Amino acid sequence: MNILVCVSNVPDTTTKVKFNGTQLVTEGVQWIVNPWDELAITRALELKESGAGVDKITIATVGLVGVEPTMRKGLAMGADDAIRVDSDPKDAFYTASQLAEVVKAGNYDLIMTGFESADYNGISVGAMLSELMGYASVGAVSAVNIIDGKLQIDREIDGGKEVLSVETPLVVSVQKGIAIDPRIPAMRGIMMARRKPLKVLAPVDADVYTEIVEIELPKAKSAVKLFDAEDVAGLVDALRNEANVI
Amino acid sequence: MSVLVYLENWDGKFKKVSHELLSYGKSLADKMGVSMFALSLGAVDSNELESLKAFGPEKIFIATNGFETLDNEVFAAAISQAAEKEDASMVVFSQDNVGNALAGHVAVKLKAGLVSAVSALPVSFDPFIIKKKIYTNKVYGHVKVNTDKKVLSLSKNTYEIIENPGAGEVEELSLDLPVAKTKVESVDKVTGKLLLTDAELVVSAGRGLKGPENWGMIEELAQVLGAATGCSRPVSDEGWRPHTEHVGQTGKIIAPNLYLAIGISGAIQHVGGISNSKCIVAINKDPDAPIFEVADYGIVGDAFKVVPELINELKKA
Ligand SMILES: Cc1cc2nc3c(=O)[nH]c(=O)nc-3n(C[C@H](O)[C@H](O)[C@H](O)COP(=O)(O)OP(=O)(O)OC[C@H]3O[C@@H](n4cnc5c(N)ncnc54)[C@H](O)[C@@H]3O)c2cc1C
Ligand SMILES: Nc1ncnc2c1ncn2[C@@H]1O[C@H](COP(=O)(O)O)[C@@H](O)[C@H]1O
């Protein structure tokens, strides 16, 4: 079984974002593997190492050359090879269209995407990719297992989970639970990652459906109203009669 | 032209979010001068369908058979066929596990731009521009949609419910559905428990509570308030609480009316999951904890003293 993990390159989540017009000011920004994509790679590695029948793990990113260090992190974690589509990920549909070309050119049984990309928070690419490919898709995936060579997927539902069997090829959108701690690359992995193949593909023409035309900062919050630790009654009164929330 | 709202049902019933979605769809439709239609897939009680009329749908489309399992391809085919039937220029989903999984499929089928997790009406219709929070809720992006058709997903508990009776005639659709590729092998679910994602009040606790043995008072407080319980990420990573309670950027993103954070420092990734809450209350012994920067109300103090007092105070009246 071959697994493709779609990896988005995002600013470290603690970044205090600043903008110049609609462009993120990238000075001082630390770039990371999108947290859910990192968990997806981790789970793919666990499956491969457990001898469940995973042959190869490939990562794919749509991005300009600046995303390569992040892709190398994915390789250092243990992915076998990487494919970069050499274009700005203009919007979700455009990005999914590029990834669809990557999928068509390969031979993948399972395609893993994350719940959302921690920059534009689109929550879109996974479902769009599966629709473009005509593949089955499962969202809100909290576990991926391979049992007797077949995929078994847990999907979160309200109050619990469903265990699904799904035909391959398949696109999943993974969330928390799929793996606990993201794999930390070891020194050996980092050394090996330098020599692993990272193929660059030219983008295909695709429509751009949405664009960000303005960034607006949220209104500054008014200062917190503090109550004395002895005045719990004061807090309850404020919640009842001022905020009207209880 | 029309607005189509997709209404998910839970074991044949609609939740409050369905009323929010219809209210939102109706406001959109009124501004565009068109009708709103609702769509429900799978078996639902007829009085449940009846209850939707109050929120303005011109018609309620239903299709009953073939929707026992959520197969995204089957559902997306049904929704886009309904959208095409009424020439919908806007399709609205709920931003939740089901809506997230379907919106991208439907958007591609309809060649529509998708904007997820919106919480307000568009800034303008021509050009179509709508706000959404980006960079894990740190800023708003104004998203311009260039396509004629649009797909939106609305965050829960963000749009006001407005009663606005409509004709609401129920019509059964005949659809051409693909064969499902997903099969449910088993289901494991608790019913009757208030879910974090549905709750209007949430009591959440962090590492400040020291260990799982101290969650008794948190559960009691939640019970007294009628709230759901949540926690910070390290708490669920340690296994003190289930993963389903993990709140934050990498866990559940919620917007309750009240979020009560106890012994939670307020790391930026945690705050990313709660910043749309109407009212945030923090109880923390450290006056410099970042949670106080986002809180509306707070008490600087020891949770082990404050929480029991809070329970007593709430029980009083
Ligand atoms: C990529 C990434 C994603 C992440 N996503 C999330 C996420 O989604 N959600 C999340 O929560 N975290 C997330 N984190 C972790 C986050 O950075 C913080 O580490 C975490 O939120 C801290 O949890 P905490 O507030 O419970 O613990 P701590 O930071 O240890 O804070 C404990 C707090 O309790 C207070 N306290 C201690 N004793 C008492 C007492 N007796 N009474 C009252 N107060 C007391 C302390 O003053 C302190 O403020 C993420 C981290 C990364 C790197
Ligand atoms: N530029 C990109 N390159 C590769 N994969 C991406 C890219 N953007 C998003 N994805 C994938 O799609 C998921 C959801 O992202 P989004 O729909 O942008 O919120 C991410 O977790 C990634 O798996």
Give CA–CA dist B198/B252, Å, rounded: 11
Residues 6 or more apart in contact with residue A134 via CB below 8 angstroms: none
Q: In Å, how far from its chain's centre is CA B266?
A: 22
Q: Which helix (H) or strand (E) holds A123?
A: none
pLDDT, position A150: 94
- Cα of A231 from ligand 1 centre, angstroms: 25
Tokens (6 digits) for B292: 């106080």
Q: Which of B167, B179, B174, B156 is nearest to B69 (CA)?
A: B179
- Cα of A7 from ligand 2 centre, angstroms: 6
Q: Are B204 and B96 in contact (CB under 8 A)?
A: no
Q: Which ligand is nearest to the CA of A174?
A: 2
pLDDT in tens, A80-122: 999 999 999 999 999 999 999 999 999 999 999 999 999 988 9
Does A176 score more than 90 pLDDT? Answer: no
Under DSSP, the state recorded for A220 is P
pLDDT, position B4: 98
Q: Which of B107, B139, B142 is nearest to B124 (CA)?
A: B142
Under DSSP, the state recorded for A230 is T
pLDDT in tens, B241-291: 999 999 999 999 999 999 999 999 999 999 999 999 999 999 999 999 999
Does A145 score more than 90 pLDDT? Answer: yes
ipTM of the complex: 0.96
Is B310's CB within 8 Å of A232's CB?
yes
Tokens (6 digits) for A135: 């593949």
Q: Which helix (H) or strand (E) holds A223?
A: none
Give CA–CA dist A181/A45, Å, rounded: 12
Q: Which of B237, B219, B187 is nearest to B307 (CA)?
A: B219
Q: Which of A83, A81, A85 is nearest to A193 (CA)?
A: A81
- Cα of A120 from ligand 1 centre, angstroms: 24
Under DSSP, the state recorded for A14 is T
Q: Which helix (H) or strand (E) holds A74?
A: helix A68-77
pLDDT, position B140: 96
DSSP lists the bridge partners of residue A90 as none
Pocket test for ligand 2, best of A102, A117, A132 (most atoms within 8 A of CB): A117
Residues 6 or more apart in contact with residue B210 via CB below 8 angstroms: none
What sign results for the dihedral spanned by CA atoms B101, B103, B105, B108? negative
> Look-up: residue for tokens 């200062």?
A223
Residues 6 or more apart in contact with residue B134 via CB below 8 angstroms: A119, A120, A121, A212, B140, B141
Mean pLDDT estimate for chain A: 96
pLDDT, position B29: 98
Lining residues, ligand 2, CB within 6 Å? A 6-8, 34, 36-37, 60-63, 89, 92, 95, 99, 113-114, 116-117, 120-126
Residues 6 or more apart in contact with residue B238 via CB below 8 angstroms: none
- What average pLDDT score do residues A204-225 get? 95
Strands (E), chain A: 2-6, 9-11, 19-20, 23-24, 31-33, 56-62, 81-85, 110-114, 136-147, 150-157, 160-166, 170-174, 198-201, 210-216, 225-227
**Ligand 1 atom index nearest CA of A176:** 8
Does A26 score more than 90 pLDDT? Answer: yes
Going residue by residue through chain B, which has 317 residues, state the pLDDT in tens, using 9 for 90 and above. 999 999 999 999 999 999 999 999 999 999 999 999 999 999 999 999 999 999 999 999 999 999 999 999 999 999 999 999 999 999 999 999 999 999 999 999 999 999 999 999 999 999 999 999 999 889 999 999 999 999 999 999 999 999 999 999 999 999 999 999 999 999 999 888 899 999 999 999 999 999 999 999 999 999 999 999 999 999 999 999 999 999 999 999 999 999 999 999 999 999 999 999 999 999 999 999 999 999 999 999 999 999 999 999 999 97
**What pTM did the predictor assign?**
0.96
Q: Are B229 and B216 in contact (CB under 8 A)?
A: no
Does A213 score more than 80 pLDDT? Answer: yes
B267 lines ligand 1 (CB under 6 A): yes
- What average pLDDT score do residues A166-188 get? 95
Residue A165: HSE in the Cβ half-sphere, 13 Å Cα cutoff: 7
Nearest CA in chain A to B238: A180
- What average pLDDT score do residues A131-153 get? 97
**Ligand 1 atom index nearest CA of B205:** 26
Q: Are B275 and B294 in contact (CB under 8 A)?
A: yes
pLDDT, position A193: 97
pLDDT, position A235: 98
Q: What residues in B contact A224, CB-CB < 8 Å?
A: 282, 292-293, 295-298
Choose, out of A17, A210, A237, A240, the residue to mutate when testing the contact with B (most B CBs < 10 Å).
Answer: A210
pLDDT, position A220: 85
pLDDT, position B136: 87
Q: Are B285 and B298 in contact (CB under 8 A)?
A: no
Residues 6 or more apart in contact with residue B226 via CB below 8 angstroms: B194, B201
DSSP lists the bridge partners of residue B90 as B3, B150
Q: Which of B293, B234, B283, B288 is nearest to B262 (CA)?
A: B283
Strands (E), A203-244: 210-216, 225-227
pLDDT, position A201: 98
User: Pseudo-torsion of CA B153, A29, A44, A105, nearest 10°?
Assistant: 80
Under DSSP, the state recorded for A47 is H
Q: With pLDDT > 70 as the criterion, what percentage of chain A qualifies?
A: 100
pLDDT, position A230: 95
Give CA–CA dist A154/A152, Å, rounded: 7
> Look-up: residue for tokens 């020194």?
A187
Identity at A13, one-letter amino acid code: T
Domains, chain A, in order of start with CATH, read 2-216 (3.40.50.620)
Is B103's CB within 8 Å of A124's CB?
yes
pLDDT, position B192: 84
Q: What residues in A contact B274, CB-CB < 8 Å?
A: none
The alpha carbon of residue A67 is apart from the nearest alpha carbon of chain B, in Å, by 18
Is B135's CB within 8 Å of A93's CB?
no
Per-position DSSP letters for chain B, written without gaps between them? -EEEEEE--BTTB--HHHHHHHHHHHHHHHHHT-EEEEEEES---HHHHHHHGGG--SEEEEE-TT-SS--HHHHHHHHHHHHHHTTEEEEEEESSHHHHHHHHHHHHHHT-EEEEEE-S--SEETTEEEEEEETTTTEEEEEEE-SSSEEEEEPTT-S---------EEEE-----PPP-EEEEEEEE--SSPPTTT-SEEEEE-GGG-SGGGTHHHHHHHHHHT-EEEE-HHHHHTTSS-GGGBBSTTSB----SEEEEES----HHHHTTTTT-SEEEEEES-TT-THHHH-SEEEES-HHHHHHHHHHHHHH-
The alpha carbon of residue B194 is apart from the nearest alpha carbon of chain A, in Å, by 9
**Ligand 2 atom index nearest CA of A89:** 1
Does A171 score more than 80 pLDDT? Answer: yes
- What average pLDDT score do residues A59-80 get? 98
Greater confidence, B136 or A208?
A: A208
- Choose the closest CB to B144 out of A210, A218, A233: A210
Q: What residues in A contact B183, CB-CB < 8 Å?
A: 164-166
Residues 62-121 of chain B whose Cβ lies under 8 A from any Cβ of chain A? 70-73, 76, 95, 97-98, 100-105, 107-109, 111-117
Is B136's CB within 8 Å of A121's CB?
yes
pLDDT, position A217: 92
B53 lines ligand 1 (CB under 6 A): no
Residues A35, A36, A37: CA angle, nearest 5 degrees? 90
Res. A180 pLDDT band, cuts 50 70 90: confident
Choose, out of A22, A141, A235, the residue to mutate when testing the contact with B (most B CBs < 10 Å).
Answer: A235
Is A239's CB within 8 Å of B279's CB?
yes
Count of beta carbons in the 10 Å neighbourhood of residue A52: 16
